[in-house]
Structure 1
Amino acid sequence: MSNHPAAPSHGPVVTHQGVCNLCEAICGLTFQVQGERIVSIKGNDADPFSRGHICPKAVALKDVHEDPDRLRRPVRRVGTEWVEISWDQAFDLVARNLAEVRQQHGANAVGIYQGNPTVHNWGNITHSPMFLGQLKTRNRFSATSVDQLPHHLTSYWLYGHQFLLPIPDIDRTQYMIMLGGNPLASNGSIMTVPDVRKRLKALQARGGKLVVIDPRRTETAAIADEHLAIKPSGDAAFLLSMVHVLLNESLAKPGHLQSLLTGLDDLKQAVAAFTPEATAASSGIDADTTRRLTRELAQAESGVCYGRMGVSTQVNGVVCQWAIQVINILTGNLDKEGGTLVTHPAIDLVRTGLIGPGHVGAWHSRVRKAPEFGGELPVAVLAEEILTPGAGQIRAMVTSCGNPVLSTPNGQQLDRALSQLDFMVSIDFYINETTRHADIILPPTCFVEHDHCDLIFMHFAVRNVARYSPAILPKPEGTLHDWEIYAGLAKRYAQHAWALEKGSALQRVKGMLTRSAMSRLRPDQLLALGLRKSAYPLRMKQLRQAPQGIDLGPLRPGLAQGLSKKGRSIALLPKAIADELPQLANRMGHDRADPNALTLIGRRDVRSNNSWMHNSERLVSGKARCVLWMHTDDAAQRGLSEGQTVQITSRVGKVDAPVFITPDIRPGVVSLPHGWGHGRQGVKLGVASQHPGVSLNDLTDDQLTDRISGNAALNSLRVHVKAA
């Protein structure tokens, strides 16, 4: 297998404007380019959204582009070696093998996993359905179920659509309670918010207050007005006690939402057991503090309660996200300036119907009977669906832009499962912990070699903005963009699988013609068509002339009006929540856990968003970041010293890592970052292999999930720690 490093460049230095789409912030950048070489990357002061902000990840775009480990051509695994093949050969092998698996074992014998970067690259969004839709499998999985699934399910229940996600109006709010989120490290999550430090400082400068509730004193907690070190998984009890206070102290004032609400009396009865006094032991937050914070939020001119990964990826994730929405509703802050608002992006995937409202429980997984949501099963069940024999067993996998061996629970079990597949294809430009199991790897161009328009994260943005970014560098000869890969696969698979298609010959011909037409349209051409249906008077020419972006104004109310027009109410107490709350009340105060155990939580670092970023020397250099945070008292009890290697053991595995002793974490709690663990055999990541770390998900438990949705419970895992 040969590598294709960037060729030396000569000529004048040219300035281009573009974006960094490595995380949700989508910051505007200014690139200086000489020939085919990136000279420098800086924040773009002219960008109306990111306002010149830049973090270390953006500078590493240069490293990804020049990385000699990055694949530029398709490769085929032959034994333990990788052999470069042509695109035509690759498409034929993929189509033929997948068609054979489907023909012999049925459609559900093919599994699909789409990783987080899938939604960061618009060619995946526009063209992957052409290919993946033909597979007609119910075994579809994605990073959604190790992340934000509880958000989508809650919005589906309350507002009728999985993508109607109210976003904190951070630029105008006067009071913000943040649980389990650390935007100073993440640049926002389900709250696309570049330059967040300045935005939070502005909140405080105008007399507002920021309260961070997290077991760890995070980077965001360090600048907050108040930090409360809650017990892991105590969030649901705390949030429910806030709802109790609002309803029992006459603080609930839904305002213009009042006429839309149903089930208020049932809600009051459902949370009757969750008094601040009753929940204090479970949450670790005393009753007086709970009452004070609830009153402060209710009485603020405007306010918002916001919760992210820490409250989503736990056994009560759906209850937490539902309770957060209810708090914003009862305080009158939903659909209000300074509260939480739905966005109005230029390409509105909700209003145009390009993303459906969703559905839940239309089918269930074969082994565990876990419910689907929006056509996807929880990824926590993926390994068992491969390993368990029988009709519907997954025998082939398609993975796209993901590394589930490092990012999903019980990664060692999934590692073993992938090695047993009959066939696997990965659309990825690295040979990593997951793709090393593939038979074929199809590498797309990298971020600076293709254009970009953010179709997803503008739905989560704290300001309405439209932006189209042309490619910074030309596409190298012999490479394909992701949308071209999907178009090629769709065409070739249709030829191999003609006999498998259901329906009349006429329907099959129509499907082939539709795919043929789509394959000829580039993403920017589809964008031009979509803008004609936009609520804004925008055309492609305007976006091309303003690569720094076009400001469409602050978030604005509209959710209540939209629901009213549809004749839809907000049912405050969905049946699944009503069924769960009594069980949650019964479990409060009955924790019989091993007193010697510690509770493991995850951690985010501004230099690390996904596992493949660890192959950039500038992002992994300096002090080691894959270390176990432990409170000073817990270390003393175990006789541990700073930097000592410790063994961390859970039900499913054990890893060794250095310990970092600090007072900035709640006693009884330890923390490891995610995305590490690059020491596996066969990984072709030169820099990452020198900084392997250990995988948090070699400890997380595939059997431990959110009780309602099946979302992975990556936080609040019981572990034992001792000297290695």
Structure 2
Amino acid sequence: MGDVTGNREHYTSLCRMCDNRCGINVYVENGTIVEITGLKEHKWNHGRLCVKGRLAVDMVNAPDRILKPLKRIGRKWEEINLDQAYDEIAEKIKKIQSTWGDRSMSVWKGEALGFLTQENLYRRFIHAIGSPNYFSNDSQCYVGRWLGYALVTGDWATQDFIKSKCAVIWASNPPYSQPNLTQSILNGRERSGKLIVIDVRLSAIARQADEFVQILPGTDGALAHGIARQLIEDDNISHAFIDKYTIGFETYAQYVKIFTPNLVEKHTGVPAETVVHLAREIGSRRPKVAFYAGNGLEHHENGINNVRAIACLDGLLGNLDHEGGNFIAEKPGLRDLTLYKDKPLRHLGPIGADKYSVLYDFRKECHTISAMDSILNEKPYPLKGMILAGANPALTNPNSQKVIKALKALELFVVRDLFMTETAKLADYVLPAATFLENSELHCHPIHQIIGLSTEIVTFPECDSEHIFLKKLASRLGIENYFPWKDNDELNRWLLQDTTITLETLRDHPEGFEYKPRRFLKHQKDGLTTPSGKFEFVSKYLKGHGYSELPEYVPPAYRCSPNPEYPYVMVTGARKVFYTHGRNRNFKQCRSAIPNPDIEMHPIDAEILGVKTGDIVTLTSTVGSVDIPVKVVHKSKILPGVTQVTHGWQESNINLLTHDDRNDPIDGFPLMKSVEIKITPKQDGSRNH
């Protein structure tokens, strides 16, 4: 029990409404969560809490929350007992395994229920039952950036914004996606730092920047190479770092010579003089320069190499793992839940691993888009069963019609979620899941190297945590030895066993417990975790897999081979402050603030099309069409010919237009942020009021 004052109980925990994991106070009256505020003592958020954090009260108490297991009977749902649901699901899994083989089963991890311990629990479960097919939202979000950096530096760095002299936010909008990160960025600027934002749109963070550089979608690699060329030409680079800790510099430097300011302007739309100025502003502040590469870089056919191009700037500036630069955090030494050492199962052909071997080599992640083909075409083998937790690919994956068709074709489709999502509607069983307020889990904050523990505050009788769900299912499948922990506390103690940290210590430190003091420039003694042990301007690993060793820039298709039938380029996925991907649209507060989707459009394009804000237009790509209201934005917000639509709206599902057949060749990420479309005003001139 938490601290009690009158009829109100007080608990401390960590928020999981986004990946910032802010410290929170949670107040409970008569068994019901009534208020959530920021925890002042927490080292990450210092008492700040965004609107999404406060919305967790609405989430846990929502009247439309799923609290009972549901089984599809024809076109209707029937409530059933939880044990009955688990029994039936286990029997269906056994039948699929005996008919089609173990690898015909799969799991898919989303982030609506949390994705730290839960991720590795699902990885453990699927290998325990003999299948390599672990899928997740990560294979089209975050991992593209992670891979781009890992191929150059060996890891994903964390930005030391507070100590930086220059923060470069590239294709991200933290005030809407990671609100507390914004405070670190602005605090660094207040301490004599500079804020530069590079993006397609004049976003909330761009409006606060000292300099905003507006760029055409998917051309970021050209700009990064142009900056690199200028830094080298000005000799404004760290020779000490380059000479001792890198490989491939001469080859890389020779390559970027072609990216003159004028050529960069031709590709990116960024004026030549701005390219030169940008390089000199950044270079003058080395090595205390912190680059943050955002989600806007991933969803292109050239995404990985665009990210690699940005990562290479760390090597030129010598800011990698430097105070005020891009810090590589050490890990706390938790035990590994996965079974990749004991049961790797690579010989069973994880789906997508043959075509996107880099993705699987680095992340042990199967390719979600390839999964749809395996379900529908049974190639390279049939995929017949899936357990999906906290994901909504019917709205968030590209080519939604194909996704829906594939998920409907499964012999067994089990969804665990809080609400009846568009994806849950396709399931055979929908199981009630626990929120982060009903679950105890370990969390780390890399920038501070602290670890914390979320608290199980309330419970609902049939809403098991992911650990308990998988434990109960494992016992019915004869693999209970892989889930020996009786509850989440015992699991957390096991994870901590190889450290000197105890659960009691974490409970005594709701502000976060420092597991290791921060050390900088660790590569000077330990090297990096790349194959060479050094910073890799060129990748011999990629060359060995048939790719260019250089981060070669390939222009997006709409720039190098424009299709006059589809004259506009559409960016999807810009964040809205109340929403996270497809979530929160069932909350009245959110709908009141942002009631409907829209397409952001430059005034020149609106005039050419003869439309105004609120008019309905039809968007069409080579994949599909959707109707949506227009929002004519200020001329500074977006470039002529470029449009933006946020995903996650069932009534105007923009992923009906996005491509699952045009992917980055290295990691398989889909084209979702430079999609060629045509825009047709509705003939009746209808308006959306």
- Normalised to the residue count of structure 1, the TM-score between the two structures is 0.85
1:418 to 403, 407, 410: 407
> Corresponding residue for 1:682?
none
Aligned partners of 2:41 and 2:29: how far apart in 1? 22
SS at match of 1:57: helix
Deviation at 1:547, TM superposition (A): 2.3
1:446 matches 2:439: no
SS at match of 1:252: coil
SS at match of 2:58: helix
Tell me the matched-pair count.
662
Cα distance change, pair 130–606 in 1 and its aligned pair in 2 (3 A): same
Q: Percent identity?
A: 24
1:381 matches 2:379: no
> Corresponding residue for 2:669?
711
> Corresponding residue for 1:487?
471
Tell whether the 8 Å contact from 1:131 to 1:493 is kept in structure 2 after alignment. Answer: no
1:32 matches 2:21: no
Deviations 1:505-532 (A, max 9, x none): xxxxxxx4732xx333433333334434
1:671 matches 2:665: no
Deviation at 1:646, TM superposition (A): 1.1
1:19 matches 2:14: yes
Tell whether the 8 Å contact from 2:13 to 2:24 is kept in structure 1 after alignment. Answer: yes
The amino acid that maps onto 1:560 is H
SS at match of 1:177: strand
2:506 to 538, 543, 548: 543
Cα distance change, pair 553–220 in 1 and its aligned pair in 2 (3 A): farther
Deviation at 1:257, TM superposition (A): 5.9
> Corresponding residue for 2:139?
145
Cα distance change, pair 249–441 in 1 and its aligned pair in 2 (3 A): same
Deviations 1:535-558 (A, max 9, x none): xx5332121122233356885315
1:154 matches 2:121: no
The amino acid that maps onto 1:400 is A
The amino acid that maps onto 2:316 is L
1:514 matches 2:481: yes
The amino acid that maps onto 1:91 is Y
The amino acid that maps onto 2:21 is I
Deviation at 1:27, TM superposition (A): 1.4
Deviation at 1:403, TM superposition (A): 0.7
Aligned partners of 1:146 and 1:671: how far apart in 2? 18
Aligned partners of 1:364 and 1:60: how far apart in 2? 38
Segments of structure 1 that go 5 or more residues without pairing to the other structure are 1-9, 188-193, 495-511, 678-692
SS at match of 2:584: helix
Cα distance change, pair 676–208 in 1 and its aligned pair in 2 (3 A): same
Aligned partners of 2:345 and 2:198: how far apart in 1? 32
> Corresponding residue for 2:46?
51
> Corresponding residue for 1:506?
none
Aligned partners of 1:562 and 1:638: how far apart in 2? 61
Deviations 1:693-718 (A, max 9, x none): 31121111101211321112221111
> Corresponding residue for 2:537?
572
SS at match of 1:64: helix
1:133 matches 2:127: yes
The amino acid that maps onto 2:376 is L
Tell whether the 8 Å contact from 2:506 to 2:512 is kept in structure 1 after alignment. Answer: yes
Cα distance change, pair 102–580 in 1 and its aligned pair in 2 (3 A): farther
SS at match of 1:651: coil
SS at match of 1:721: strand
Cα distance change, pair 586–178 in 1 and its aligned pair in 2 (3 A): closer
Tell whether the 8 Å contact from 1:216 to 1:229 is kept in structure 2 after alignment. Answer: yes
The amino acid that maps onto 1:157 is L
Deviation at 1:355, TM superposition (A): 9.0
The amino acid that maps onto 2:425 is R
> Corresponding residue for 2:685?
none
SS at match of 1:329: helix
> Corresponding residue for 1:523?
488
1:170 matches 2:172: no
Deviation at 1:434, TM superposition (A): 0.9
Aligned partners of 2:354 and 2:657: how far apart in 1? 20
Tell whether the 8 Å contact from 1:171 to 1:199 is kept in structure 2 after alignment. Answer: yes
> Corresponding residue for 1:468?
453
The amino acid that maps onto 2:466 is D
Deviations 1:621-642 (A, max 9, x none): 1343511110111101110011
1:629 to 600, 625, 646: 600
Tell whether the 8 Å contact from 1:61 to 1:447 is kept in structure 2 after alignment. Answer: no
Aligned partners of 1:549 and 1:25: how far apart in 2? 13
Aligned partners of 2:553 and 2:320: how far apart in 1? 28
Deviation at 1:417, TM superposition (A): 1.5
Aligned partners of 2:481 and 2:387: how far apart in 1? 23
Deviation at 1:595, TM superposition (A): 7.3
Cα distance change, pair 283–592 in 1 and its aligned pair in 2 (3 A): same
Deviations 1:577-635 (A, max 9, x none): 63675672798973333276211112101110132321211122134351111011110
Deviations 1:105-144 (A, max 9, x none): 223322332212354363x245334422234334432111
Aligned partners of 2:667 and 2:675: how far apart in 1? 18
Tell whether the 8 Å contact from 2:41 to 2:511 is kept in structure 1 after alignment. Answer: yes
> Corresponding residue for 1:584?
554
> Corresponding residue for 2:520?
557
Aligned partners of 1:353 and 1:277: how far apart in 2? 50
1:313 matches 2:279: no
Cα distance change, pair 555–666 in 1 and its aligned pair in 2 (3 A): farther
Deviation at 1:54, TM superposition (A): 1.0
Deviation at 1:225, TM superposition (A): 0.7
The amino acid that maps onto 1:147 is C
Tell whether the 8 Å contact from 1:213 to 1:229 is kept in structure 2 after alignment. Answer: yes
Aligned partners of 1:558 and 1:580: how far apart in 2? 25
Trace 1:207-356 onto structure 2 (pairs within 5 A): 207-253=192-238, 255-256=240-241, 258-301=243-286, 302-347=288-333
Aligned partners of 1:177 and 1:565: how far apart in 2? 23
Aligned partners of 1:126 and 1:309: how far apart in 2? 23
Cα distance change, pair 715–565 in 1 and its aligned pair in 2 (3 A): closer
Deviation at 1:377, TM superposition (A): 2.7
The amino acid that maps onto 1:230 is I
Aligned partners of 2:55 and 2:521: how far apart in 1? 39
Aligned partners of 1:582 and 1:50: how far apart in 2? 39
Cα distance change, pair 514–552 in 1 and its aligned pair in 2 (3 A): closer
Aligned partners of 2:313 and 2:378: how far apart in 1? 46
The amino acid that maps onto 2:645 is L
Tell whether the 8 Å contact from 1:214 to 1:229 is kept in structure 2 after alignment. Answer: yes
Deviation at 1:228, TM superposition (A): 1.4
Deviations 1:366-403 (A, max 9, x none): 79944452332322223222111456122222212111
> Corresponding residue for 1:404?
393
Tell whether the 8 Å contact from 1:212 to 1:224 is kept in structure 2 after alignment. Answer: yes
Tell whether the 8 Å contact from 1:105 to 1:391 is kept in structure 2 after alignment. Answer: no
Segments of structure 2 that go 5 or more residues without pairing to the other structure are 683-689
Tell whether the 8 Å contact from 1:282 to 1:588 is kept in structure 2 after alignment. Answer: no
Tell whether the 8 Å contact from 1:337 to 1:555 is kept in structure 2 after alignment. Answer: no
The amino acid that maps onto 2:489 is D
- 711-720 or 436-445, larger mean C-alpha shift: 436-445
1:435 matches 2:435: no
Tell whether the 8 Å contact from 1:274 to 1:585 is kept in structure 2 after alignment. Answer: no
The amino acid that maps onto 2:539 is P
2:77 to 67, 74, 82: 82
2:618 to 624, 647, 650: 647
